[in-house]
Chain A
Amino acid sequence: MDAIFLQILNGLDKGGAYALIALGLTLVFGTLGVVNFAHGALFMLGAFCAVTLNRLLNISFERVSETETNFLGKPLVEQVPYLEQWFGPEVAGFLLDWSVPISILLAVVVMAIVGIAMERGLIKHFYKRPHADQILVTFGLAIVLQEIVRHFFGANPIPQPAPDIVAGAANVGAWLGLGDNLIYPWWRLIYFLFSAVVIFAVFAFLQFTTFGMVVRAGMHDRETVGLLGINIQRRFTIVFGLAAAVAGIAGAMYTPILPPDYHMGMDFLVLSFVVVVVGGMGSLGGAVLAGFLLGILQSFASMTAIKSILPGIDQIIIYLVAVIVLLTLPRGLMGRPGVAED
């Protein structure tokens, strides 16, 4: 019972991450009609925004220590962060401790700029090209982005701890009166809430603002909206920026769970595409639904009881579900007919 409850929590948490990535992907597809294989790389860049902020906060000057020595037996050159010099150790310590949540601010700005630049500089020229070309050019871009990151940050994962106050695990069982064995990491609970809020905000934005209405209308029938004299182009650019920002903050917030490395985007890419396709290309609700569904299924498939009956099921469950859904529901869970079938 506890085990099942925990697996549901796991599934929601995973699903939150999948849904956040898939949301941007499907938004871009639905509005711009572009299949963006660089979306995983945007997730990765977001994660590296957190790393970068941490490094920025740690910019240091060197001070030769009088007492200590380094591994070669020479006087140790200490690195003293400017931050500590200027604001004192307490403020500096606080900022460093909270660098991951703070990095959301950086990620939003940086990723929106990256997204807009990407749309203006590259994607724009690919609206009328076949999907295959879009896949290929964005795939190339993803390789370039990740190699640039590797050049500066190396190939190994870089740890990004969560703030101390939420570092441990919460006693979820005690809250619900289910005993002490139900514990779950604070940060994962936060991540789930965070993804729910972001998803909700994106939906609210598209539902209740004029901008969102135009975008939704554009998703539905691009030419007509264009004929109304509305500059749909500029709005789509902003939509791309929005999608990039969502991917970026999803990545930044994910760093305490998964220490970021340059290749994490590619690791998530295939998965997020499967989520989008299962949900139905271009369907926002479908992406969120499929994200949570696949997250939960994946968690359950990993349970020993199930693995002992179907060995290796946890390795293929995502793909298996994708195959079954696509063969029974031609356009995924919530896809519209005629989308992406050419």
Chain B
Amino acid sequence: MSVAEMATHGTDERGFRSGVPNKVLHVDDVHKSFAGLHALSDVDLDVRQGETHAIIGPNGAGKSTLLNVCVGRIKPDRGAVIFDGNTLTGKAPHEINQLGVARVFQTPEVFLDLSVLQNVMVPALSKRDGYFNLNPFTAFAGETAIRDEAEEVIANVGLKYHIHSPASSLSRGDKRRLELAMCLIQHPKLLLLDEPTAGMARHDTNATIDLLKEIKENGMTKIIIEHDMHVVFSLADRITVLAGGRIIAQGSPEEIKNNPKVKEAYLGEEQV
């Protein structure tokens, strides 16, 4: 498939508009520039229900900016992000999360002072109680249902033996698992993963891939930003390629693999 065809393919997808059940996230013509530098231009993107969508591209292609637009950290100059019928543009991070979008950061962001169990219980509480719930007399230790679930999720990500350790004592890879667990316990409709295997040893990377594959079976929609092609091609259902703030290609892994333009823009660079 040529680039033009792929672009057309995208336009076809847009024709369905929102309301179509199998479309979760819709990025509509987003522009963003920093001090005159175009970080994103004319970005249109659709993510379907249940798919794992990878966004790849060389350094400075605008991947992180796009992700930040999706979670409300950066406000676009133009365009909108529509998630599940709600526009995300201009919403605060906590509102976006409450709508069902969870995020894993590039450098693991966890509550270093809290134990692994507490780390996982906090997001579960926010899922259950909303963004603010003032009840200073509900015992945290009394949340048995949430604790049971948290223990299960922690066991699933392989942190069972660290459950009572402070998060600060975990290795970088374990912190990433912990962060993943914090997202998973919220049962998000959409999970954003910013380089989930960055800085991991091969062994850990494979374990993470297995973990993410497992989640896939649960039918959770995921967007992955990733450098590691091994990860991308193991996990992604569809791939969007960004370069210079524009989408240059979109399609299944097979299609992207064979796309000469992508090779030139991205894979070529990798090989150099």
- Asked whether any CB of A lies within 8 Å of a CB of B in the complex, the reply is no
